[in-house]
Chain A
Amino acid sequence: MDTPTLLTHLQTHDTALTLPRGGTLRWDDADLHRAAHAAGPEHYALLALAPGALPWQRARVLLQTLAASQAGLDDPTRGTLARLARVLTLALPPAHVITVLLALRRLRANHKHTTRTVLRFVLEHPDADALIAARRPALLDCFEHALGKTAARGCARRIDDGDTGSDYLRRRLLRFLAAPAAAPARVQALYAPAPAAGAAPGAAPALPDRPALALDTAREHPATVTATNRGDIAATLVHLYRGGPAADLHAALGRQLDAAARAFPRFAGTVALVLDASASMRGYGEREWAVLSQAAALRMLLSQVCDRLEVVEVGGDERAPRGATDLAAGVLDALGTGPDLVAVVSDGYENRFPGDLARVTATLPRAGVTTPVVFCHALFSAADDLALRRPDPSLPQRGFWHQDDFTALLPWMFAHCDAGSPWLDTALHARLDVLDRRAADLTTAIAA
């Protein structure tokens, strides 16, 4: 399966994993995940960190990664997968993780990397005490599955007897942990007697539902979208287009672009951008400049991130949008620059002539052109009606209206071309490094 398809699946297929009591695991897209894992376990697993991947899809990646053997993988890859599993167990809602761990038990997956991840979740999660209080039987099952029932109970017995560091305990349990000091008390909690039958029912402690680690950056959600609350760069551009003080605004624009570009690694390839600068992109009334400013912000960001950016403007130009929208000729001009990727950035109102873009892209394979073409839908807000704004439904397409959307848009765009694969891995490795450091801080806090 190609990366863009998998990425889109991770970001859109939102169904839960379920474990019916006494039944088999319900995992509707298991074949897809197994195939993607087999094609490259590290690349597959890293995609779970892509911005916008859904929690239940991330849970599936965790499940697949922990269920599969790591035989034949080199140490760096095993290290990456271990860190990723650690991050996901902290960044997913605890209930999702518990489902995954119970599924591993049901699947009888008992690799060493599985054991380590299970034990660290059960005994080292920042909310471990609350989790055990709320889901003790389930977590006890996970614990005994990880160690084996005999070893688990042997450890529990020794801990109950005051053992905190015997050879047995170290070899069976403590060697899997990063903060072993906290483990004995939690093992005792796992094996604490259940309330006697007939005892007065108390309110069951609630399961913490918030992940310990934030994976996706919280984004701005303005109650009312305006031309200037769609991110810093676009806001500054709108003021420039409206004739604001150029010196101040250009200085701010430079700072804002630098800050935005720092979030992305360098793309070692060429992107040809077909930029719709027709009259409709300017808009009118209170929305004037809103759509074009965000498209221009994307163009500016790509110019900082890409080794080479070729821009083909359609209609007028960024500062003077005008005239009709001829996307088909724009794509042909863009392909003439020899890019790794063609990205069409448009509001989708193709009028010279409607259908031409679709016919041109449908012809590309037989014309021997393999360069991927993607459609980046320039929107005013997430609520835009696109029914009449899809000039080529066959093209991969994704909308954007806020600067925050670039976080997911760029990986999606670059994933479509060969040059994007190393870029994506670099970007996701960098993301893993950051998250892993934050996960380590959480563990340190527990140990302290």
Chain B
Amino acid sequence: MTEMTALDTLLPGPLSLAGHRLGTPQQAGALTMVPVSGPARPGFVPPRTGLKLSRVTGYGRLELRNGAPAGVAIVPLHIGYVQDAAQNHALCRSALLGPGQKLLFEDACCVQQTQGGYLTGRDQWFFVLPGELRARALQLRGVHGYAKLWDDIADLNHRCGLPRRGHLEQILSRKRPVLTQFQSRLEPQPGQVGALFLVAGRFAGLELCPDPRYFAEMWPALACFAYGVAAWRTEPGPVPAAPYDAGTLAELRAALDRDRTDRLTGIAARIATAALDEPADVQEEERYLDLRLSTVTSPHLAGQIVTDGGRAVYASLFAR
């Protein structure tokens, strides 16, 4: 993996990731991030600057707008919006929006059980649902009912040692100071278009974006919330520093190199054994010109992908 590993050898057959490669992993606590580099696909609008929440027409009904004059907006899978004094909402699915288009998501879910008020277009910051909720949220795409995720949120809160309530902001806001540090604890590489995440040594997800700018705008939401929550829950305690068996500086450098090679080999092995290439069901959900948005489901993997002529443009796949 130090010499970059081709990604298409590791992932499901229907998803062509030719041209994408893995870089050198980074670790922060329980979270490992393997950078993905690859070709930048032109013609896509980044989510923070291009995609806007235009209004909420009712609980569980949220409208997004592609405000860019050109370029397709791929709505990131499981994106959610937070505002003070309004019901925070999250989406259960991705979508494709042409320039200037609006789309009303009638299958959105409220993630703040007892907070009244509707989100408005101002002061938005977005998150991605924590990995623990994503399989359920994906399962609930197309299902109307703003309260549909509250029980799962309450269970997650309980597992986090927080009151068992359908309030995701208990994690997102109250734990924000520690979660947002993942944005700095891990550091994207120049030109990075995606990342593969492991939590506590186990594959947790693969995120692929059309271009580096799109990925950079997704980075905080992915690192801090989609994967950071699970990593925070399993943050390892301090470990005493064991000296290497080295009698000179040269031997020390060699010992460090060997140790790192071993660790990289271990990470590569854990990715290889994550059963990512097992047969998957790919169900097309939407089209926009040559773009196809599909839901991928396999025994240990789920998520959505956007392809262009069979090549992956966007992917958000997570362990289930």
Q: Is the CB of A388 within 8 A of B29?
A: yes
Residues in A with CB closer than 8 Å to B183 are: 284
Instruction: Give Cα distance in the complex from A319 to B50, angstroms.
Output: 28
Instruction: Give the contacts of B246-272 with A (CB-CB under 8 A).
Output: 246-249, 251-253, 255-256, 259-260, 263
Count of A interface residues, CB-CB < 8 Å: 39
The yes or no answer to B239 lying at the interface (CB within 8 A) is yes
Q: How far is the CA of A280 from the CA of B177 in the complex (A)?
A: 15
Partner of A367, one of B239, B242, B252: B252
Binds B, one of A32-40, A77-85, A173-181, A345-353: A345-353
Contact digits for A319-340, partner B, Cβ 8 Å, 1 yes 0 no: 0001111001100100110000
Contact of B187 with A363 in the complex, beta carbons under 8 Å: no
With A352-B26, A363-B243, A366-B243: A325-B256 Cβ-Cβ less than 8 Å: no
B161 located at the interface, meaning its Cβ lies under 8 Å from any Cβ of chain A in the complex? no
Interface size on B, residues (CB 8 A): 34
With an 8 A cutoff between CB atoms, is A394 at the interface?
Answer: yes
Residue of A nearest to B242 (CB): A359
Point out the residue from B26, B186, B188, B244 that lies within 8 Å of A363, measured CB to CB: B244
Would A279 and B249 be within 8 Å (CB), given that A351-B26, A388-B178 are in contact? no
* Interfacial chain A residues near B185, Cβ < 8 Å: 280, 349, 351, 388
Give 1 or 0 for each of A391-415: 1 = CB within 8 Å of chain B CB.
0111000000000000000000000
- Main secondary structure, interface of A, reads loop
Residues in A with CB closer than 8 Å to B29 are 354, 388
- In the assembly, what is the distance between CA of A279 and CA of B192, in Å? 13
CB of A349 within 8 A of CB of B252, answer no
CB distance from A73 to the nearest CB of B (A): 43
Give min CB distance, A356 to chain B, whole Å. Answer: 7
Report A-chain residues with C-beta under 8 Å of the C-beta of B256.
328-329, 332, 356, 359-360
Which residue of the partner chain, among A322, A354, A368, A388, contacts B248 with CB atoms under 8 Å?
Answer: A368
Out of A322, A335, A349, which one reaches B184, CB within 8 Å?
A349
B171-205 interface with A by 8 A CB criterion: 177-178, 181, 183-190
* CB pair B190 A323 closer than 8 Å: yes
Asked if B26 contacts A360 (CB within 8 A), the reply is no
Residues of B within 8 A of A363 (CB): 243-244, 246, 252, 255
B249–A367 touching, CB < 8 Å? yes
A366: which B residues are within 8 A, CB to CB?
243, 246-247
Chain A residues with CB under 8 A of B244: 359-360, 363
B273 lies within 8 A of chain A by Cβ: no
Closest to B177 in A: A385
Tell me if B42 counts as interface (CB < 8 A to partner A): no
Answer yes or no: B115 CB below 8 A from chain A CBs.
no
The complex places the Cα of A362 from the Cα of B238 at a distance, in Å, of 15
- A293 to chain B minimum Cβ distance, whole angstroms, is 16
Judged by a CB distance under 8 angstroms, whether B291 is at the interface is no
A315 contacts chain B at the CB level, 8 A cutoff = yes
Which residues of chain B have a CB within 8 Å of any CB of chain A? 24, 26-29, 177-178, 181, 183-190, 238-239, 241-244, 246-249, 251-253, 255-256, 259-260, 263
Kindly list 6 other residue pairs between chains A and B, CB separation below 8 angstroms, not including A284-B183, A352-B24, A353-B260. Answer: A280-B184, A351-B28, A352-B27, A354-B29, A359-B256, A360-B252
19 sample A-B contacts, Cβ–Cβ < 8 Å, listed by A number? A279-B187, A283-B184, A284-B183, A322-B189, A322-B190, A323-B190, A324-B26, A325-B187, A349-B28, A349-B184, A351-B27, A352-B26, A352-B27, A353-B27, A362-B242, A364-B252, A367-B247, A368-B248, A368-B249
A residues near B (Cβ < 8 Å) are 278-280, 283-284, 315, 322-325, 328-329, 332, 335-336, 347, 349, 351-356, 358-364, 366-369, 385, 388, 392-394
